[in-house]
Chain A
């Protein structure tokens, strides 16, 4: 059976060259960068080169890059490290409703510790409004954290505008760029970004390695104490194989970027157009244009995401969903709810995330299998069977605004 991997927002396949280099730094060049001997010096040199490669990818200086275990750790250090170090300046933090849990949870933890938290709403496309952000800023605001691009719907935020505002007001600006780094051009200087989170496994480096960019001069405190590695920001013997892999993935991504974006976007557009043409009653989630090149997120009305994923999996297709039934907590995706989707529509959400590893054949195969799967699940759905009468019921209600009624409109 053909296998199609459309879940690259969850994790990507490690690049073959990267994997070979990682192996080299586990077996032959295995020294501790802290050692004085030749083994150590060689490892140190490799880490230094990787730091430069990573810095270059986002327009930073290598002294501004700190290696971590990934996105979650970089987010935690950014939020807590800045909050603790700037307590004397203020206690107000601004973030957005569609952040990853790796940002939202540390923010909630800080709130419990006495910090004030403002969670910005987003519009129907998942975008933060710059005006709303401006209005939320207080004299004691110390940190703004807004993600570069959303992991579920791919929506990109007005990062450069937020950066300009933050810089002008003297507020630190952190962005969780886990989904964007390596997949979209980033320039931390031009965009006035003070702190940036990245994670290797989203752009073909291994899992468990990431980095944090901290602009020179930002007041931040480390969360761990130990041997003093990473200039005390993140002590612990360096994950040299991971770091070298991250560096190589960064360099490759930068070299491939323009062609890669163009190719993935073409595949994505064909995939989305094919879905829309061949299956009725599909709703696009996220922004029509301001989205990551590899992201498709649609709601397949009248069916539930987990049963859709299981059916796709039986055909060898890997995807994901924001449905409550897939979440473990049985709550639908907070991202889709923040965008104003009702529970039923969030239920039928399907995310297909592409990478450079995907091909035209993958898209063809998906489009060949998908309509029959949807038709089968819809034929089992009570919502599909009664869709006419439901519309009638809903539109008779006094509160139903005809101009906004989705069901009557379709």
Chain B
């Protein structure tokens, strides 16, 4: 039911873990199925220098988390904010329809972490 890309990111997730000195942290949860996704950002000069994730959820939740970290690493905050949930799912060659909400989490978690960074670092 999952694509090869999903299974690749699920079995070898990139950027798993925690950044102790994160500049921004975002946590989102899905009320329906109970999963939780947490993103840690290290930001320098408006660029995401490092990113890590922790996820409590299904295969799709873990794969989208992993994928989104790859997609935003090295990007400016503006560009990262433009990455949509659909783009993450697309980058994984799609998700089963019932799992589409999982991909919503990944981009949302990044956006939440960026907002946290902005709140902590007013220009």
Contact = CB atoms under 8 A, between A and B. Distances in A.
Instruction: Specify whether A and B are partners.
Output: yes
Interface of A: 302-304, 306-307, 310, 314, 323-326, 328, 330-332, 343-344, 347, 379-383, 385
A382 B16 contact: no
Contact of A380 (B13, B33, B34): B13
Contacts of B18: 385
22 contacts: A304-B58, A307-B58, A307-B61, A307-B62, A323-B33, A323-B58, A324-B32, A325-B35, A325-B59, A330-B33, A330-B98, A332-B33, A347-B33, A379-B17, A380-B54, A381-B54, A381-B56, A382-B36, A382-B38, A382-B54, A383-B36, A385-B18
Given A343-B34, A381-B56, 11 more contacts: A302-B56, A304-B58, A306-B58, A307-B58, A325-B35, A331-B33, A344-B56, A379-B17, A380-B62, A382-B55, A385-B54
Nearest to B37: A382
Nearest to B36: A382
A382 B32 contact: no
Interface string B1-40: 0000001001101001110000000010000111111100
B57 interface: yes
Contacts, number: 67
A353 B13 CA distance: 30
A380 B34 CA distance: 16
A302 B13 CA distance: 18
A324 B62 contact: no
Contacts of A324: 32-34
Nearest to A302: B56
Q: Is the interface of A mostly helix, strand, loop or mixed?
A: helix
Interface residues of B, number: 25
A332 B59 CA distance: 16
A332 to B, nearest CB: 7
A300 B31 CA distance: 20
Contacts of B10: 307, 310
A198 B51 CA distance: 54
Interface in B71-92: none
B35 A304 contact: yes
A325 B54 contact: no
Given A310-B10, A314-B11, A383 B56 contact: yes
A323 B57 CA distance: 10
A187 B59 CA distance: 44
A5 to B, nearest CB: 20
